[in-house]
Amino acid sequence: MTSHDLPAFRELFDNLRFSGLSFTPPKDRTDQALATYFQALEPYPFHAVKQAYDTLQHGLTKWPAVSQWVQALPKHGLGMGEMGMMDWRQAKEWTEAERLFYEGDPCGCADCILANVTYLPTRYVPCLDANGDTIPMRHPNKPLPVLRGEWLHGFPLKRWYSARAEFYQKLETLKPGMKRELETTR
């Protein structure tokens, strides 16, 4: 979707919001919820989002999570020609992450302080959709699709470093021949 699709998406969003479902976003947070849903669905073409909306309308009793909306997207018809284009912010962020080899400076934000990871470099990792799949997008300056990503902060960053440490710990327990084989494939 593009910013031109926002009015039509708002109409779908409002129709769903006023359809009598339980747990709809509170009135004072409607714009925030709309922005969150739009951002999550932005990589997909509007016609696919509309099909997902049509699917969701039938059988829901409570407000769908973003992941439910993404999961309701049709599995066909999302080929390269219809792949979402990164906006200038996403493209700039991705390009900077590539330049930094996906490792940023340590961060002192509230989330990182709370998770006690202010001494660890931030990491740029691919975003995943509701099915756990990466989200390919078109970058305005790259001929091939790239993966939409985000900088990890706080507890997600802590989990990333824990998973990395666990991987290397398991790697140490492998037989020497298997370890060499894995190291050559990296």
Amino acid at 138: R
Last residue of one domain, picked from the residues 82, 109, 132: 82
CA distance 51 to 39: 17
Domain containing residue 60: 3-82
Amino acid at 18: F
Last residue of one domain, picked from the residues 82, 98, 126: 82
Residues 6 or more apart from 106 whose CB is under 8 A from it? 112, 117, 118, 119, 120, 121, 122
Asked if residue 49 and residue 95 are part of one domain, the reply reads no
Q: CB of 134 within 8 A of CB of 126? A: yes
Output the pTM of the full model: 0.52
Asked if residue 37 and residue 71 are part of one domain, the reply reads yes
CA distance 29 to 21: 16
Last residue of one domain, picked from the residues 61, 82, 103: 82
Asked if residue 180 and residue 92 are part of one domain, the reply reads yes
Asked if residue 95 and residue 78 are part of one domain, the reply reads no
Tens digit of pLDDT at every position of the chain (186 positions): 777 888 888 888 888 777 777 777 777 788 888 888 888 888 778 888 888 888 877 777 777 777 787 778 776 554 445 578 888 999 999 999 999 999 999 999 999 999 999 999 999 999 888 778 888 888 888 777 888 999 999 999 999 999 999 998 888 887 666 655 656 655
When divided into structural domains, the chain yields a total of 2
Amino acid at 183: E
